[in-house]
């Protein structure tokens, strides 16, 4: 399949989704069409979830990036590269980083699609965590911009 995207003059986007059934014909099942539409909509509206919180007695700041896996079990490419580029631009140090890919069975038991979790434990050059909401908000914006390519 493919997606055709048109950006209108007012900044809004219109998309056309072209998908073929396994036999090469059109998908006539209304429920399947709605499911495909919802998946594309969710991927566009919220491609990743970003959370920031202090951990380990406020000595480190945890940056958690959660992205859904596609139907082939693949995650969003370049998350680690994009996040470390944003952290570098912010002048932050990575104490530890790990990636966890959730099993399909685990996600199904929770009633959702499998996810890929990227966790970064970060601190400032002086070894302290990000202590103010403004610092965390700035980090959030930098990471979001780097991952999505938009401010």
Q: Is the pTM of this model over 0.85?
A: no
DSSP-assigned letters across all residues of the chain: -EEEEEE-TTS-EEEEEE-B-TTSSB---HHHHHHHHHHHHHHHH-SEEEEEEEETTTTEEEEEEEEE--TTS---TTHHHHHHHHHHHTT-EEEEEEEEE--HHHHHHHTS--EEEEEEEEE-TTS----SHHHHHHHHHHHHHHHHS--
62: alpha, beta or left? (left if phi > 0; alpha if psi -120 to 50): beta
Q: At what angle do helices 133-148 and 79-89 cross, to 10 degrees?
A: 140
pLDDT in tens, the chain (151 residues): 666 778 888 878 787 777 787 888 888 888 888 888 887 777 777 678 899 999 988 889 999 999 888 777 777 788 899 999 999 999 999 999 999 998 888 888 888 888 899 999 999 988 888 989 999 999 999 998 898 776 5
């Amino acid at each position: 399949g493919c997606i055709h995207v048109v950006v209108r003059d007012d900044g809004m986007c219109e998309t056309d989704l072209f998908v073929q059934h396994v036999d090469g014909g059109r998908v006539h099942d209304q429920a399947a069409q709605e499911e495909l539409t919802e998946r594309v909509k969710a991927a566009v509206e919220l491609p990743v979830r970003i959370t920031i919180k202090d951990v380990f007695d406020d000595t480190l700041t945890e940056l958690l990036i959660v992205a859904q896996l596609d139907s082939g079990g693949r995650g969003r490419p370049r998350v680690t590269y994009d996040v470390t580029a944003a952290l570098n631009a912010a002048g932050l140090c990575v104490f530890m980083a790990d990636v966890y890919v959730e099993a399909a069975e685990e996600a199904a038991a929770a009633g959702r699609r499998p996810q890929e979790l990227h966790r970064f434990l970060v601190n400032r050059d002086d070894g302290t965590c990000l202590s103010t909401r403004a610092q965390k908000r700035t980090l959030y914006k930098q990471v979001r911009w780097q991952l999505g390519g938009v401010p």
